[in-house]
Amino acid sequence: MQIRTDLALEAREMINEKKTGALKDVGKLPEGIIMETTDKPNVLVTRITVENDEAAQAINKKKGRYVTIELKDGELNSIDVYQEVAKTLCDELEAFMPSKNPSIMIAGLGNWNVTPDSLGPKVVEKLVVTRHIKDSMPKDSLDPRLGNVCAVAPGVLGITGIETGELLQGVINRIKPDIIFAIDALASRKTSRINTTIQITDTGIVPGSGVGNKRMELSRDTLGIPVIAIGVPTVVEAITLAKDLLENASGEELEESLYTSISKTCGAEMVVTPKNIDIAIERMATTIANGLNMTIHKGFDFGDINDYLM
């Protein structure tokens, strides 16, 4: 029974998973997977490193680094929580920056017409982009805190008729950035992590994988420069949700034959998203954008950086 998740943290939780009634116990991690956690007032940060091919096969994720920021209380419902998440994101992104003053491109992936898939484009709308002024204004007239960043929301294949990877490759060949941050919506296997979790990884991303519509991979291997993916789960697969509900109600693991039957009934490709998805996406997009803004433009705080968005 293949359970779909884009989160390395959840893939790690499912390794050697053992059932005790409705409870799950994660066994010993395979060699080559290193994990550490940092507990903060409002968030839990988990860092997972997949070191070798055997570990990558065991966790079903590529070799590399994965950082997960989880909200403890489930919602970005206060200024204090929002600022802590944005600052934590900024701090964690620092470890992925390749040089002191890199040229950065941010790609907001997804379909702006579909709310659960609109995270990337909404982040782009809230960024402080500077490449156009960096190239045209005298250096002594610029705020020295501003970094060099541009942004693009390339849309999806169904709208443009062009693979996202092909569009980005053309832009990269023209402007030659040092690094790309790609923001996209993901799929989770737990409803509690929808719109409450941010994943950062240096392994790149496959647009559309969250809803089973995989496109061309975006990574160093395909684009030639580091690709840091920032994702938030906005959907859960319907069959996974049904499986969890039935197991929690019965206290027993779902038989594979019943799983297959349910999959055919409710639709193997159906995904579910919360009713407040529009508010959640807006809040998360603002949080991620501010985390990126503070990472790229050194020395700004929340008030200063927002002045550039007016």
Domain hosting residue 107, numbered range: 8-307
Within a domain: 144: yes
Residue 265 has pLDDT above 80, yes or no: no
Total Cβ atoms within 10 A of residue 275: 7
Instruction: Write out pLDDT tens, residues 266-295.
Output: 666 788 899 999 999 999 999 999 999 999
Tell me, what's the pLDDT at 214? 59
The model carries a pTM of 0.89
Instruction: Check if the beta carbon of residue 31 is closer than 8 Å to that of residue 54.
Output: yes
**CA distances in angstroms from 129 to 90, 241, 297, 310, listed in the order given:** 17, 39, 10, 13
Within a domain: 235: yes
Tell me, what's the pLDDT at 19? 41
Instruction: Write out pLDDT tens, residues 132-157.
Output: 887 677 767 777 888 899 999 999 88
* Residue 143: both structure tokens together: 């705020």
Within a domain: 131: yes
Residue 99 has pLDDT above 90, yes or no: no
- Overall domain count for the chain: 1
Within a domain: 2: no
Instruction: Write out pLDDT tens, residues 157-175.
Output: 888 999 999 999 999 999 9
Who contacts 258 (Cβ-Cβ below 8 Å, separation ≥6)? 246
CATH of the domain at 151: 3.40.50.1450
Residue 17 has pLDDT above 70, yes or no: no
Within a domain: 66: yes
Cα 201 to Cα 96: distance, rounded to the nearest angstrom = 9
Picking from 198, 185, 188, 236, the residue whose alpha carbon sits closest to that of residue 44 is 198
Instruction: Fill in the DSSP letter of residue 205.
Output: B
Confidence band of 258 (pLDDT split at 50, 70, 90): confident
Instruction: Write out pLDDT tens, residues 38-92.
Output: 999 999 999 999 999 999 988 889 999 999 999 998 778 888 999 999 999 999 9
Residue 208 has pLDDT above 70, yes or no: no
Confidence band of 2 (pLDDT split at 50, 70, 90): low
Cα 249 to Cα 233: distance, rounded to the nearest angstrom = 25
Cα 172 to Cα 123: distance, rounded to the nearest angstrom = 20
Within a domain: 3: no
Residue 211 has pLDDT above 60, yes or no: no
Q: What is the rounded end-to-end Cα distance, in angstroms, of the chain?
A: 50
Confidence band of 1 (pLDDT split at 50, 70, 90): low
Cα 300 to Cα 206: distance, rounded to the nearest angstrom = 32
Within a domain: 1: no
